Structure formats: C-alpha cells, structure tokens
Amino acid sequence: MTQTNRQILLVSRPQGAASTDNFRLVETPLAPLAEGEVRVRNHFLSLDPYMRGRMNDSKSYAAPQALDTVMIGGTVGEVVESRNAKFKAGDKVVGMAGWQEYGTSNGADLRVVDTTHVPLSAYLGPVGMPGVTGWYGLNGIIKPQAGQTVVVSAASGAVGSVVGQLAKRAGCRAVGIAGGAEKCRYVTETLGFDACVDYKAGNLYQDLKTATPEGVDGYFENVGGAVLDATLARMNPFGRIAVCGMIAGYDGEPVPLKFPQLILTQRLLVQGFIVTEHLDVWPQALTELGTLVGKQQLVYRESVADGLENAPEAFLGMLKGQNFGKQLVKLI
C-alpha cells in the first residue's frame, strides 16, 4: 500500500496581511526511496516570523518561497527509512523538511541529535535556530558587559527568552518587552528578567523609562515599529542594537523609524543579521545552549498546535503575538 504524505503549499501571496487562503493542504503519495535518500517522519514543525517575509515576492535576504511548493520550515523527527549509510531508522534528526508530515532528502540537510538530556522539540527552540539567533545577536553584536542594561522585545518568545537569560548570566540588567500582563509575569517570574514592559498597556515609553533607570546599552530587536521608536529613545551613548526581526513591517506597510538622528547623537551601532550567515558560531552556541538546557538552567516554553492542518492558523496567530513561547506544530 502506498503511504500518503500530507503537505501545506503556499498557493498565493498576501495582499497586506497573510491569511489562511494563502495556503492549501494537499495529500500526495510517497515515492519509494532512491539510493542515498532518507525518509523522516516529522514530529514537530517550527513556525517562525521569517516565514512571513518569504511569502512576499520582494527583495529580501532570501529568495521568495515559490508558489505551489511546500512551505519552508525547520523540523525535527525520526528516521523511518534510510538508503543512506549516514542514517538509520530510529535516528532523531533536525532538518528543514517544511510544512509536511514526511520529509525525503539526500540527508545533507539533516543532523542527528542526542535526546538523552535535551527533548527533541528543544532543537527547534533554545538549542536550535532561535537559540543561536539570540546567542549571536547578544554575543556577536550587543557584546554585553556586566552592569549594563539589555532590552529585548518579544521577550517571552523563543529568541527573546534566550537573549534575556543569557544577558542575566552575563551580569546585565535584563528587561523584556512583551504583550500582556501574563507574558510579562512569565518573563520576570519564570525567566528571571529584572523587569518586563507590557507594550499593550498604553504607556510604552514611560514604562520602559521606569524599567531602565540607567538607560539602555544593548537592544535586541524582534518587532520594530513603536517598540523600536521607544527603545531607541532610551539608548545610552555607544549603545548597540541587534536587528533580528521587524515583524511590525511584515505585512507590507513599512513602519517608519521616527527619530533616526538618535543613531548619530547617541553614536549607536545598529546591525541587522541573519543567523544562518554566521554558521561559524553555531557549534559553540549550540554546545553552550544544549548544556544549559540539559542542566535546566535555561528555561523555555512552547506553544504547540496539534496537527499539520492547524499550521496556517497557528502561524497567523504567532504573527499577531498570540503564541506564548516557541510556536510549534505537533505532527504525530
């Protein structure tokens, strides 16, 4: 009997906000493996803000996702069949199979991981791309010094939670920005940040000022828009801003930066980065992050949607900040 794969394709580009109409669930038969190929049953799919950028047909750091192809995405799963000597059935692997239940590849995109101390799904979060993203922006760009203040937006998310916890370990005052009292409570009480500002409470700048009495030396930017404007106005001389995401502008309507002259008057360094262009730091970052997670010294939280068919809805919710922690889709 031929096995069936379920996949989600990108079938149209958003005009303004993305919608479920941009996606389509299809069922396709699985072809027998060719020599050298590996088949993985995906357990979890990662949903990440960068995917929204790929849906547009515009100049960006990556080619747009082609229409009528499986949506790109990081996955973890288990090898179910292998005609490649490097993999055997039962191996737990991290890959980029995208929004589908089974991934088939020549194995070049797969990495076998050890789930003895680190849960498989964590390889899509704190010990995966989001974790390394936080690690690189903090250590490679912000370069925090003990006693300084580091602010991170989307603080309860997969990247932000890592940034703040690592900043605390570096001896900094860690201040988060998140949406809603519940997320803020989690950021301070569970993640151990010194303070968290609720950007939905209506007093963003004043609340941020109160939370950063000595100004801001490092800012890890995940959202852009009004949050960036407010934090920029709190930057100390020689502050560093690592620009990792600008989710506020993803729906096509560019959000201007109100006070660019602060870059000059405060002599700021503002640097955009894409973590996959800094592969040299991945081994060190993954080792450090894996050790911390294994020892339960790095806390993380997951928001898990159940079933591939719910991936589009979960993705759109994440873009609106409805997730709470790393957004995953459980596929099995």
Q: Enumerate binding residues for a copy of itself (CB under 8 A).
A: 53, 59-61, 224, 228, 237, 243-246, 249, 254-261, 263-274, 277
- For a copy of itself, which is the closer residue by CB, 52 or 301? 52
Nearest approach, Cβ of residue 77 and a copy of itself (Å): 30
One-letter amino acid at 48 equals: D
Nearest approach, Cβ of residue 237 and a copy of itself (Å): 7
> In residues, how long is the chain?
332
If one counts every other C-beta atom within 10 angstroms of the C-beta of residue 239, the result is 25
- For a copy of itself, which is the closer residue by CB, 88 or 267? 267
If one counts every other C-beta atom within 10 angstroms of the C-beta of residue 215, the result is 16
- Give the whole-angstrom CA distance, residue 293 versus residue 226: 33
- For a copy of itself, which is the closer residue by CB, 169 or 258? 258
Q: Is the dihedral of CA 321, 327, 331, 332 positive or negative?
A: negative
Token code pair at residue 98? 């995208």
- For a copy of itself, which is the closer residue by CB, 190 or 259? 259
Nearest approach, Cβ of residue 300 and a copy of itself (Å): 24
DSSP 15: S
Nearest approach, Cβ of residue 39 and a copy of itself (Å): 35
- For a copy of itself, which is the closer residue by CB, 195 or 247? 247
H helical segments located in 32-93: 50-55
- Give the whole-angstrom CA distance, residue 198 versus residue 4: 45
Query: Whole-angstrom distance between the N-terminal and C-terminal Cα of the chain?
Result: 20
Token code pair at residue 247? 């989710």
Nearest approach, Cβ of residue 327 and a copy of itself (Å): 20
- For a copy of itself, which is the closer residue by CB, 249 or 294? 249
Nearest approach, Cβ of residue 52 and a copy of itself (Å): 12
